[in-house]
Amino acid sequence: MDWIGEAIEKVRKKRPLVHNITNYVVMNTTANALLSIGASPIMAHSPEELYDIISIADAVVINIGTLDDRWIYSMEKAARLATQLEKPVVLDPVGAGATRLRTETAVKLLENRSVKVVKGNYGELFALAGEFGKTKGVDSAIKDPDMAKSISLEVARKHNVVVGMTGPIDFVTDGKELYSIASDGINLEKVVDKVTGLGCIVSAITGAFVAVEGPLRGTLAGIATFKAVAELASEEAKTPGLFHVKLYDWLYMIDGNAVKEKVIVKKLL
């Protein structure tokens, strides 16, 4: 996957403008992550300015972490405008499956056919798989990578999107091709559950990569790059606060050689 290093350099050269409709918890975190990797973030939610912003944006990231009626309206309007203006949309269905509102909002955005990429964890993707997901069970998928692969393929085919499923092993698929992204994760396990917003960072920087590489390659590059960054940060930081800082440092320093050293990307289909 030598092209991942080239994709990182494309992001830094082009500095894609990524429009984020994201949650209160991670606005600052994801903006800093985008700046560190070399992209340009904008965090804007008002429906009155969506057309102006999406017109100049290179990608749109919709994160449903903190929902209310006005935000849902903005998300749906942004998705429609992005389709009209031919801008890719990345959806992070935060908490889908946990509440009816989150699941229904994510499904509605997908049914509008505006979303090009869905990046979620095992539980969120299971919720979006509908009855197929309900019959399998997320706990089983975490223990059984083959089941996780099946869910990823199901969601990709059902909604005609690229799926990035993050977990102990990440899977990326467009419903035809399927890739796994793995690392040893030894140091990472000690701090990953002590820092909020890591999945949201993945979605944000995936938006930057999708802007320069397209949905499938962009999702692969975004997830693989962050996995390498998190591994490198965890090697230098044994506490949550320092780990958070080191994430920004390594997003700034990461290159293709570091990704190849820390992450194994395999084509499965």
**pLDDT band per the 50, 70, 90 thresholds, residue 135:** very low
Render 2-47 in DSSP notation, one character per residue.
THHHHHHHHHHHH--EEEEE--TTTHHHHHHHHHHHT-EEEE---G
How many separate domains does the chain show? Answer: 1
Q: What span, in angstroms and rounded, lies between the C-alpha atoms of 250 and 184?
A: 18
Asked if pLDDT for residue 101 goes beyond 50, the answer is yes
Q: Long-range CB contacts (< 8 A, 24+ apart) of 152-156?
A: 152/125, 152/178, 153/178, 154/129, 155/118, 155/125, 155/128, 155/129
Q: What is the pLDDT of residue 17?
A: 98
- Domain carrying residue 47: 3-267
pLDDT in tens, 28-67: 999 999 999 999 999 999 999 999 999 999 999 999 999 9
For the CA atoms of the chain, what is the radius of gyration?
A: 17
**pLDDT band per the 50, 70, 90 thresholds, residue 227:** very high
Question: Tell me, what DSSP letter sits at residue 99?
Answer: B
Burial class (CB in 10 A: 0-12, 13-18, 19+), 141: buried
Report whether 38 contacts 18 (CB < 8 A). Answer: no
Q: What span, in angstroms and rounded, lies between the C-alpha atoms of 200 and 192?
A: 13
Q: What is the pLDDT of residue 140?
A: 46
> Which domain CATH number covers 261?
3.40.1190.20
- pTM as predicted: 0.94
Q: What span, in angstroms and rounded, lies between the C-alpha atoms of 127 and 34?
A: 28
Q: What is the pLDDT of residue 138?
A: 45
Report whether 175 contacts 157 (CB < 8 A). Answer: yes
Where b means 16+ CB within 10 Å and e means fewer, 98-117 reads eeeebbebbbebbeeebbbb
Q: Which two tokens stand for residue 99?
A: 């509440």
